[in-house]
Amino acid sequence: RSVAVVTGANRGIGNAIAVGLAEAGANIVAVHRSEVSATRLAIEALGRRFVSVEVDLQDRGSVASIIDVALGTFGKIDILVNAAGIIRRQSSMEFSDKNWDEVLLVNLKVPFDLSRAVARSMVTRGIPGRIIHLASLLSFQGGINTASYTASKSAIRGLTKILANEWA
């Protein structure tokens, strides 16, 4: 049975992806920072294993703890879905460094760090896997008052391409 790590699994797109992967047969490592019981119930009702990793992705140690829990529980990671994301709305001229840094950390650095760690575990096992990043339509159209979010999601598009080229 496949093992999928899904960030942002507690709601929205991340939740839908976690449940969809469970419907397709995967056991789920749900990464979240708020209530996740509805996700747990949906996945366990499908007869799949559900492991919860409650972390704040702004914590620099979160990536290591996610990997440790997933590999410690299942011994492998077959699928990584980087669905977690945050947005801060503020005029670009007034945009605070704090808001910029927080959004780029959660939306870009953490997905890169998780992707790199998961790819290393996949290469060590010698078995290909899947790494999925979620971008945004704002990476195509820009948006208004979303400078860091738009920049981070545009960068995710580019990161996805470079990792696909390197790791294909």
Residue among 65, 74, 73 at smallest CA distance from 7? 65
Contact 25, 78 (CB under 8 A): no
Yes or no: say if 4 and 26 are a contact pair by the CB < 8 Å rule.
yes
Active-site annotation holds for 5: no
**Active site residue: 18, 110, 121, 149, which one?**
149
Are 38 and 14 contacting, i.e. CB atoms less than 8 angstroms apart? no
- Catalytic residue IDs: 149
